[in-house]
C-alpha cells in the first residue's frame, strides 16, 4: 500500500492534524489521524479532497479568448454562440481529444479531479453519424485518459433549435439525434468507458428537447445515473419558455419531470422565489459556472436565497475560458457581494469561513452531480490535492483561514501535488505529462486557426 502523511488534511469533519492515508487500487484504504509519520511515508503539508467539475465542454478551451472583441453593440451569449458554432464546425475527433486533454490537464492543476463532460458534438462535420456513433465520446475518453482525470460522461440529446420543437439551424447539425439514435449513442458511449468512469445523460435544454422526447430519454439514465440539463441561463430563454408553456423553465421542469437528487440544473441563473424553494426541496444540485456566466453576461445566480433555502450546488468551468477551481468559488461569492453590496455572504454563523463553506458545499454537490463518492474517507477514490505550504499566499496561514487564503488570495502554483485514483498526475504544480499534452494542443490550434 502506498502511504502518504500530511501535517493537516481536510476530512469529512473538517481539518485534522497529522493524517496518514493509505492508498490501494485507486482508493483510500485507510486513514489515521494524530499519526506519526513512518519511514517510507511520502510527506506533505496540506491535503484537500479533489473537487468535481460538474460542467465542461472540453473543446471550447480551444476558442478561449477568441470572442472577447466587440463585434456589435448587442454582443451577448447568442453572438458568442455563433463564434462557438464556427469554431466547432471543422473539429475532428483527434482535435477534440487534443483540446480536451489540455483542458483536463489544467483542471487537475487547479484542483479538480473529476470532470462532468456535457458532450454534444456527436456527428461528423456534415452532420452524419460516425460509423461508431460514440466516435467523439471515445475522443473524450481518450482525453480524460491522457490527462488522468476522472470522467462522468454526459452524452447530450439535442434535436431542436428552440422551444416547441422548432427545426434546428445548420450550425447545430453536429449535435442532433433522434430518440432511437440517442439510445444507440448512449450504449456505444458506455462501451468506451473505463471502469472508474460514470455515465449519465444530458437533455441539452428545453430549447433543444420536446416534452415527449424528454420523457422518452430519461429512462436511459438507468435509475441512478446523473441527469444534467442547461436551464434558465439567459433571460431570453426564460421569456421564450413562458411564451411557449406559460411556465418559467425551472418551474416547468419541477412540474413535469420529477426532478430529484439525480438532477443537476446547469446555471439555473434566473429563478423566482417559487422556483428557488421548489428546486432546493427537490434535492437537485445547481451546477454553477460563475466565471463563464460572467464572461457570457448571463446574470447573477441568487446564491444567498439558494443557501437560505438549503439548496445544493456544485461548480463547473463550462466554456473553459479560464480553468481554476478556486476562481469559480471566488466568483460565486463576489457575484453575491456585488449584487447585495455586503461581504461574506455564502457563509453563516455556524460556518463563518466563506472559503470552507463554499468548498464543503461544492465538494458534496460535485460528488452528487457526478454520481460518485468524494472526500478523504475510507473507500472513496484516492483523489487528493495538496497545497504548497511554502507558497507566499499561505505565509502564516492556520487551519482557520487556510481555505479562505487559497480561494480568495491564491495564485498559480499554490496547488502542488494531485493524485487522481491513487496516481500522481500533478507534481510541483505542473501536470506530469503537461508538456506532451500542450505540444499536441498547440499543433491542433495552429492547424485550426491558421
Ligand atoms: Zn454548458
Domain match, 6 and 140 both: no
CA of 20 to the centre of ligand 1 (A): 38
Report whether 72 contacts 79 (CB < 8 A). Answer: yes
Residue 116: the pLDDT is 98
CA of 28 to the centre of ligand 1 (A): 32
Neighbours of 9 (CB within 10 A): 25
3-class SS at 341? coil
The pLDDT-based confidence of 292 (bands split at 50, 70, 90) is very high
Domain match, 318 and 383 both: no
CATH number at residue 297: 3.20.20.140
Domain match, 267 and 389 both: no
- The dihedral built from the CA positions of residue 61, 62, 63 and 64, taken in this order, carries a sign that is positive
CATH number at residue 421: 2.30.40.10
Mean pLDDT of 275-302: 97
Mean pLDDT of 255-281: 98
Minimal CA–CA distance to 231: which of 209, 262, 258? 209
Q: Is residue 449 part of a domain?
A: no
Q: Is residue 445 part of a domain?
A: no
Minimal CA–CA distance to 314: which of 386, 374, 272? 374
Domain match, 65 and 144 both: yes
Report whether 394 contacts 387 (CB < 8 A). Answer: yes
Residue 402: the pLDDT is 97
End-of-domain residue from the set 320, 353, 370: 370
Q: Which residues of 244-263 are buried (b: 16+ CB within 10 A; e: fewer)?
A: bbebbbbbbbbeebebeebb
Looking at the predicted structure, is the pLDDT value of residue 439 above 90? yes
Looking at the predicted structure, is the pLDDT value of residue 94 above 90? yes
Residue 71: the pLDDT is 83
Q: Is residue 265 part of a domain?
A: yes
Whole-number Å distance between alpha carbons of 317 and 109: 14
CA of 326 to the centre of ligand 1 (A): 19
Q: Chain-wide mean pLDDT for the chain?
A: 97
Domain match, 350 and 430 both: no
Domain match, 162 and 189 both: yes
Mean pLDDT of 251-268: 98
Mean pLDDT of 256-269: 98
267 flagged as catalytic: yes
Question: One of 267, 270, 391, 431 is an active-site residue; which one?
Answer: 267
CA of 204 to the centre of ligand 1 (A): 9
Mean pLDDT of 53-72: 93
Minimal CA–CA distance to 241: which of 258, 259, 254, 260? 254
CA of 233 to the centre of ligand 1 (A): 9
CA of 17 to the centre of ligand 1 (A): 39
68-82, 146-160, 277-291: the lowest-pLDDT one? 68-82
Cell of 83: 463564434
Q: Number of structural domains, the chain? A: 2
The pLDDT-based confidence of 75 (bands split at 50, 70, 90) is confident
CA of 297 to the centre of ligand 1 (A): 14
CA of 315 to the centre of ligand 1 (A): 12
Domain match, 333 and 394 both: no
Mean pLDDT of 314-329: 98
Looking at the predicted structure, is the pLDDT value of residue 69 above 90? no
Q: Is residue 441 part of a domain?
A: no
CA of 190 to the centre of ligand 1 (A): 22
Minimal CA–CA distance to 105: which of 449, 442, 439, 433? 433
Whole-number Å distance between alpha carbons of 103 and 115: 10
The DSSP result for 289-313, as a single string, is -HHHHHHTT-----HHHHHHTT-EE
Looking at the predicted structure, is the pLDDT value of residue 267 above 90? yes
Looking at the predicted structure, is the pLDDT value of residue 83 above 90? no
Domain match, 345 and 327 both: yes
Mean pLDDT of 215-241: 96
Q: Is residue 386 part of a domain?
A: yes
Residue 119: the pLDDT is 98
Residue 86: the pLDDT is 87
The pLDDT-based confidence of 80 (bands split at 50, 70, 90) is confident
Cell of 340: 447585495
Q: Is residue 285 part of a domain?
A: yes
Residue 82: the pLDDT is 87
Looking at the predicted structure, is the pLDDT value of residue 100 above 90? yes
340 flagged as catalytic: no
CA of 370 to the centre of ligand 1 (A): 15
Residue 88 CA: distances (Å) to CA of 2, 81, 98: 43, 11, 13
Residue % of the chain over a pLDDT of 70:
100
CA of 118 to the centre of ligand 1 (A): 7
Q: Which residues surround ligand 1, an ion (CB under 5 A)?
A: 318
Report whether 427 contacts 123 (CB < 8 A). Answer: no
Report whether 103 contacts 323 (CB < 8 A). Answer: yes
Domain match, 241 and 143 both: yes
The pLDDT-based confidence of 435 (bands split at 50, 70, 90) is very high
3-class SS at 64? coil
Residue 67: the pLDDT is 87
- What does DSSP say about strands 14-24 and 2-11: parallel, antiparallel, or unpaired? antiparallel
Residue 401: the pLDDT is 96
Looking at the predicted structure, is the pLDDT value of residue 78 above 90? no
Whole-number Å distance between alpha carbons of 30 and 20: 8
End-of-domain residue from the set 342, 370, 398: 370
End-of-domain residue from the set 330, 347, 370: 370
Looking at the predicted structure, is the pLDDT value of residue 133 above 90? yes
Looking at the predicted structure, is the pLDDT value of residue 388 above 90? yes
44-58, 72-86, 160-174, 379-393: the lowest-pLDDT one? 72-86
Residue 282 domain boundaries: 51-370
Residue 412: the pLDDT is 87
Minimal CA–CA distance to 140: which of 68, 188, 177, 183? 188
Cell of 205: 435544454
Residue 155: the pLDDT is 98
Residue 400: the pLDDT is 95
Question: One of 95, 318, 383, 404 is an active-site residue; which one?
Answer: 318
Domain match, 272 and 145 both: yes
Whole-number Å distance between alpha carbons of 86 and 83: 5
Q: Is residue 326 part of a domain?
A: yes
Domain match, 287 and 403 both: no
Q: Which residue has the higher pLDDT, 401 or 79?
A: 401
CA of 257 to the centre of ligand 1 (A): 20
Domain match, 382 and 352 both: no
Residue 76: the pLDDT is 87
Residue % of the chain over a pLDDT of 90:
93
Q: Is residue 168 part of a domain?
A: yes
CA of 47 to the centre of ligand 1 (A): 30
Looking at the predicted structure, is the pLDDT value of residue 343 above 90? yes
Chain segment 161-188, per-residue pLDDT in tens: 999 999 999 999 999 999 999 999 999 9
Alpha-helical (H) ranges within 246-390 are: 249-256, 273-282, 290-295, 303-308, 325-340, 354-370
CA of 289 to the centre of ligand 1 (A): 9
Chain segment 365-376, per-residue pLDDT in tens: 999 999 999 999
Mean pLDDT of 430-436: 98
Mean pLDDT of 140-152: 98
Amino acid at each position: 500500500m502506498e502511504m502518504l502523511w500530511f501535517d493537516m488534511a481536510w476530512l469529512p469533519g473538517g481539518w485534522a492534524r497529522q493524517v496518514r492515508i493509505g492508498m490501494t487500487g485507486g482508493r483510500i484504504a485507510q486513514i489515521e489521524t494524530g499519526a506519526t509519520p513512518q519511514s517510507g511515508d511520502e510527506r506533505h503539508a496540506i491535503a484537500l479532497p479533489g473537487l468535481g467539475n460538474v460542467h465542461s465542454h472540453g473543446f471550447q478551451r480551444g476558442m478561449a479568448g477568441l470572442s472577447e472583441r466587440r463585434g456589435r453593440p448587442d454582443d451577448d451569449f447568442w453572438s458568442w454562440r455563433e463564434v462557438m458554432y464556427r469554431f466547432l464546425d471543422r473539429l475532428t475527433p483527434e482535435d477534440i481529444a487534443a483540446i480536451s486533454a489540455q483542458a483536463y490537464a489544467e483542471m487537475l492543476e487547479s484542483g479538480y479531479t473529476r470532470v462532468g463532460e456535457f458532450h454534444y458534438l456527436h456527428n461528423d462535420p456534415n452532420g452524419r453519424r460516425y460509423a461508431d456513433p460514440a466516435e467523439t465520446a471515445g475522443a473524450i475518453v481518450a482525453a480524460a485518459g491522457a490527462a488522468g482525470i476522472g470522467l462522468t460522461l454526459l452524452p447530450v440529446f439535442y434535436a431542436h433549435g428552440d422551444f416547441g420543437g422548432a427545426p434546428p439551424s445548420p450550425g447545430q447539425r453536429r449535435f442532433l439525434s433522434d430518440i432511437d439514435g440517442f439510445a444507440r449513442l448512449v450504449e456505444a458511449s458506455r462501451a468506451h468507458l473505463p471502469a472508474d468512469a460514470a455515465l449519465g445523460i444530458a437533455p441539452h435544454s428545453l430549447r433543444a428537447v420536446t416534452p415527449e422526447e424528454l420523457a422518452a430519454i430519461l429512462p436511459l439514465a438507468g435509475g441512478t445515473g446523473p441527469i444534467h440539463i442547461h436551464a434558465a441561463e439567459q433571460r431570453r430563454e426564460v421569456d421564450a419558455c413562458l411564451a411557449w408553456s406559460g411556465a418559467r423553465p425551472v418551474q416547468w421542469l419541477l412540474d413535469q419531470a420529477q426532478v430529484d437528487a439525480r438532477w443537476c440544473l446547469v446555471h439555473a441563473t434566473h429563478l423566482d422565489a417559487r422556483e428557488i424553494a421548489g428546486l432546493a426541496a427537490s434535492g437537485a444540485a445547481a451546477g454553477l459556472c460563475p466565471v463563464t456566466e460572467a464572461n457570457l453576461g448571463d446574470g447573477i445566480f441568487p446564491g444567498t436565497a439558494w443557501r437560505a433555502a438549503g439548496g445544493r450546488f456544485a461548480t463547473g468551468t463550462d466554456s473553459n475560458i479560464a480553468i481554476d477551481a478556486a476562481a469559480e468559488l471566488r466568483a460565486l461569492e463576489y457575484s453575491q457581494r456585488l449584487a447585495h453590496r455586503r461581504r461574506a455572504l455564502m457563509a453563516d454563523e455556524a460556518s463563518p469561513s466563506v472559503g470552507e463553506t463554499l468548498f464543503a458545499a461544492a465538494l458534496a454537490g460535485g460528488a452528487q452531480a457526478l454520481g460518485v463518492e468524494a472526500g478523504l474517507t475510507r473507500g472513496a477514490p484516492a483523489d487528493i490535492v495538496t497545497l504548497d505550504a511554502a507558497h507566499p499566499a499561505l505565509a502564516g496561514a492556520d487551519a482557520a483561514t487556510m481555505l479562505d487564503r487559497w480561494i480568495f488570495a491564491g495564485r498559480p502554483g499554490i496547488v502542488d501535488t494531485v493524485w487522481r485514483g491513487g496516481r500522481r498526475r500533478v507534481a510541483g504544480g505542473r501536470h506530469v505529462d503537461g508538456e506532451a499534452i500542450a505540444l499536441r494542443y498547440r499543433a491542433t490550434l495552429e492547424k485550426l486557426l491558421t
